[in-house]
Structure 1
Amino acid sequence: MRLALFDLDHTLIPLDSDHAWGEFTVRLGWRDAEAFRRANDGYYQAYKAGSLDIHDYVRFATGAVRERGLAEGRRAHERFMAEVIRPAMTEAARALVRRHQQAGDTVIIVTATNAFVTRPIAQAFGVEHLIAIDLETDPRGEYTGAIAGVPSFREGKVARVEQWLADRGLRWSDLAHSTFYSDSMNDLPLLEKVHEPVATNPDERLQALAQARGWRILNLFE
């Protein structure tokens, strides 16, 4: 097996889907604009700095859907896809995914954004396999605000990919080749694990590290 792993936000799409979803709920009137944006921007800055409390953030990020209910949340997400995500999906990113698929690679999106937000985005890219933050549900099937299992964040991305492989009777050593595309230093554990790390639209810290280590640097959105 050959794996092509992709981060999502600022890697395959030129925005943060979780942050954008939060802004979209403000547009819908589901949140007080000023208070929500202050908190949302604060979490985003913490993510970029590598200091995000992922459990605290997920409780915050799922608040609107938990209050409105999953059925209404899904209807709103269809509008979100049409109005925000699909217009942002570039042909360069689509073509990169297709090239790996046509080469016979198994493509997986590995993201620290929750599966409610990202599953439809993975489907829009034609990607079957998604490793995202899974959300705990209550007996009614509604989200509780807690994370189910290991969050696919920082070192957790490595653990979740290893679990994906183990579910198929595989280990890293069984792979013929593995590539991971990411923009962020938060993904350094997985970048260091694969055969071919690709700094994709990298932030300043990852750009400097990639240059120092001789990693390939790819800019999809120029």
Structure 2
Amino acid sequence: MVSEAAEPAVPPAPPDLTAAAFFDVDNTMMMGASIFYFARGLAARKFFTSSDLAGFVWGQIKFRLGGRENKEDIKTHRERALSFVAGRTVAELTSISEEIYDELMADKIWSGTRALAQMHLDAGQRVWLVTATPIELAAIISRRLGLTGALGTVAETRDGVYTGRLVGDLLHGRAKAHAVRALASREGLNLKRCTAYSDSANDIPMLSAVGTAVAVNPDGGLRDVARARGWEIRDFRTGRKAAKIGVPSVLGAGALAGAVAAGMAYRRR
């Protein structure tokens, strides 16, 4: 009997040191908003209660739908969202974030987007997440997906304890593009050889900063721009799921985050 020869192992691609990929998280890499799941996990651990949020959620939703948001408003709401961890240690929140990822986030990863990230890794390229999500949580998501790293919003700490304030700007909109350019400069990347992925028109500056832009599960504004500029569109949503996917994004990244913080501020009065 002649035994079949084993298939030779495919050697890994040599590192491609000047090309990389950048992925937004909410509704791009993950179904819904990471802060939404994070808040749910913290609520389950009695960081706050549902009743604390009830009086604030509707007001936050109305604010978001009113179209009167500006950069300072965004920063204020994110700082309030971070205020509910003030006084907690980095070690404690990191451990809890690991648990919350396993409980609520792991099964929300879009398999199609993860495959795109793996495609870049297989080509020897580095892959970063770029998100307004706090960097500690973003780093956990990146590590669990086997990616290179993450760029995220930085919460101030002193002696390993959160103060509830931000360091620098919220990583949102144009700030993402600035962060990507700074990373490219540090790492010797050629942005013309890099690729960026996002679902949101807010990330058009980041998408425009690289040589290849891909709209993933795009909102209406990004879809229009992608079509006009000839950017590739990947939509992993189907039917009713596509219609619903924007809801947790709004509640999680904006209204819920602000409501969580407002609820905690209310409790402390």
What is the CA distance between 1:213 and its match in structure 2?
2.5
- Higher alpha-carbon Rg: 2
* Residue 162 of structure 1, aligned match among 174, 181, 186: 181
Structure-1 separation of matches of 2:106 and 2:131: 18
SS at match of 1:119: helix
Q: TM-score, normalised by structure 1?
A: 0.86
Is the CA contact (8 Å cut-off) linking 2:94 and 2:137 kept in structure 1?
A: no
What is the CA distance between 1:180 and its match in structure 2?
0.8
Moved more, 58-67 or 112-121: 58-67
> Which position in structure 2 is the counterpart of 1:4?
21
Q: TM-score, normalised by structure 2?
A: 0.72
> Which position in structure 2 is the counterpart of 1:204?
220
> Which position in structure 1 is the counterpart of 2:117?
97
Q: Residue type of the partner of 2:53?
A: F
Alignment of 1:152-191 (within 5 A): 152-168=171-187, 170=188, 174-191=190-207
Q: Residue type of the partner of 2:170?
A: P
- Structure 1 pair 85–45 and aligned structure 2 pair: CA distance change class (3 A): farther
Q: Residue type of the partner of 2:125?
A: D
What is the CA distance between 1:32 and its match in structure 2?
2.9
> Which position in structure 2 is the counterpart of 1:13?
30
Structure-2 separation of matches of 1:44 and 1:89: 29
> Which position in structure 1 is the counterpart of 2:248?
none
SS at match of 2:104: helix
Gaps of 5+ in 1: none
> Which position in structure 2 is the counterpart of 1:30?
47
Output one character per residue of 1:67-95: Cα deviation in whole Å (capped at 9) or x when no partner. Answer: 44433323322221111011212432322
What is the CA distance between 1:57 and its match in structure 2?
2.5
Output one character per residue of 1:144-171: Cα deviation in whole Å (capped at 9) or x when no partner. Answer: 1222234321111111112212223x47
Is the CA contact (8 Å cut-off) linking 2:23 and 2:196 kept in structure 1?
A: yes
Is the CA contact (8 Å cut-off) linking 1:108 and 1:129 kept in structure 2?
A: yes
SS at match of 1:137: strand
Q: Residue type of the partner of 1:46?
A: R
Same amino acid, percent of matched pairs: 28
Output one character per residue of 1:10-33: Cα deviation in whole Å (capped at 9) or x when no partner. Answer: 001111001221122222221131
SS at match of 2:31: coil
- Structure 1 pair 40–217 and aligned structure 2 pair: CA distance change class (3 A): farther
Structure-2 separation of matches of 1:71 and 1:97: 28
- Structure 1 pair 146–30 and aligned structure 2 pair: CA distance change class (3 A): same
Instruction: Count the aligned residue pairs.
Output: 218
SS at match of 1:180: strand
Alignment of 1:107-126 (within 5 A): 107-126=127-146
Q: 4+ runs of 1 displaced by more than 6 Å?
A: none
Higher relative contact order (Cα pairs below 8 Å, separated by 6+ residues):
2
Gaps of 5+ in 2: 1-17, 239-269
Structure-2 separation of matches of 1:112 and 1:50: 20
What is the CA distance between 1:39 and its match in structure 2?
4.2
